[in-house]
Amino acid sequence: RLAPLLRAALQGQPWRERPSPSGMVAFERAAGGMLSFEPGGQLEYASTPSASLDDLRSELESVWVPLARFLADEGVALVARGLDPWNTVESAELHASGERYRRMAVHYDRRGLWGRRMMRQSAALHVNVDAPGPAGEAWAVANAAAAPLLAIFANSHRVAGADAGVRSARAAQWRRLDPSRTGIVWAGGDPVEEYLDFALGADDFLAGDPAAAARPFRERADAATREEWRRHLTTLFPEVRPRGYLELRSVDALPLEWAVLPAAILAGLLFDPEARIRARRELPGPTREALERAGCAGLGDPAITDAAGVVLDVAEDGLERLGDRVASRQVRETLSRFRSEFTDRGRDPGTAPDDRLL
């Protein structure tokens, strides 16, 4: 139902309709950026690389504000939560018809409903940043920030109309759907060696008979082609994924008012050398156990709350030094307002009653 409405909303504007690997339609903006559908029909916008957080915010507003208003006039509300808060997983359809998604669905279904909920009912806010300075240092800081950021922005505590008992039910799905390809990868050693070992150990569900249980990629690595290896890498979903830049995947979908803030925090942590060094020194090392606690108890966990405070202190200091070329005073004040309204009170966005994007 949503695709025809998108065509109507974007008609006469600088958007071009194009197919996507999922088998569903996508819309490419002339200035860059892509509107597309996730496997369950979730609507996603991939923004263009931005020189500043203000440019990013302007782009997001230019896309989402008119679209949300058009859809509202058609009786459709855009919801910004990490997981569908109302509907059961049994009622959620798989709309993606591409082979990748069919194989992924079969693979995850072997472990239960976790993967089905992730594919059909979840929505995250991914932050892609370049990594100035030593790559290993940025990798370490981004991984250390994953659990605190998850707790700070947790926004999915309801599932199928009931309290899920966790602050981020979206994160709970990821912890359980396939540990071979998710979670925290870095354990303090050489990042390249650790990620290679992680990738080789992940189940390879894109090859062989889809009806057979997937086996670790390393079992056929000697016979695999470069293209098969490349495709396998795209099926890995750690909290921080290296893609020539760093992709942080820990944050639940957020209302547009706060959507730029995860990127602001990462910019403050990574782009300012002093902040990067301080974050490396003061943040605890990343662990899967801390990630689990961040998604379950969130800011109700004292250690996670302490780490969240460090992340925000260091990021805010870094943004002040970076100044308007990265984040205007308005962006910095928005982060400060979010912190005083939520984090400093032990609250996350999931405590806000409004589900809407705008």
pLDDT tens readout for residues 295-326: 999 999 999 999 999 999 999 999 999 999 99
40 and 136 part of one domain: no
- Mean pLDDT of the chain, nearest integer: 97
Domain-embedded: residue 149: yes
| Nearest one of 170, 182, 2, 172 to 81, comparing CA atoms | 170
Asked if residues 304 and 147 have their Cβ atoms less than 8 Å apart, the reply is yes
Cα-Cα end-to-end distance for the chain: 21
pLDDT tens readout for residues 222-237: 999 999 999 999 999 9
Q: Which amino acid is at 178?
A: D
Instruction: Output the pLDDT for position 356.
Output: 83
209 and 69 part of one domain: no
Domain-embedded: residue 137: yes
Domain-embedded: residue 358: no
4 and 121 part of one domain: no
7 and 90 part of one domain: no
231 and 210 part of one domain: yes
CA 282 to CA 144: how far, in whole Å?
10
Domain-embedded: residue 356: no
CA 179 to CA 59: how far, in whole Å?
35
Task: Please count the other Cβ atoms lying within 10 Å of the Cβ belonging to residue 210.
Answer: 15
Domain-embedded: residue 9: yes
| Nearest one of 157, 23, 149, 163 to 94, comparing CA atoms | 23
For 226, what's the count of Cα atoms within 13 Å in the CB-facing half-sphere? 0
264 and 146 part of one domain: yes
53 and 91 part of one domain: no
Q: Quick check: 49 pLDDT over 90?
A: yes
Domain-embedded: residue 240: yes
Domain boundary among 37, 54, 78: 78
284 and 343 part of one domain: yes
163 and 312 part of one domain: yes
Domain-embedded: residue 357: no
pTM of the model: 0.97
109 and 240 part of one domain: yes
pLDDT tens readout for residues 12-37: 999 999 999 889 999 999 999 999 99
Q: Quick check: 1 pLDDT over 80?
A: no
3-class SS of residue 247? strand
Domain boundary among 60, 78, 96: 78
157 and 263 part of one domain: yes
Looking at residue 148, which CATH number applies to its domain? 3.30.590.20
Residue-range definition of the domain harbouring residue 262: 80-348
Length of the chain: 358
Q: What are phi and psi of 250, to 5 degrees?
A: -90, -10
Instruction: Output the pLDDT for position 354.
Output: 84
And the tokens for 50?
A: 């931005």
And the tokens for 164?
A: 């899920």
42 and 138 part of one domain: no
- When computed from its CA atoms, the radius of gyration of the chain, rounded to whole angstroms, is 20
Domain-embedded: residue 192: yes
Domain boundary among 43, 78, 113: 78
3-class SS of residue 24? coil
Instruction: Output the pLDDT for position 132.
Output: 83
Count of structural domains, the chain: 2
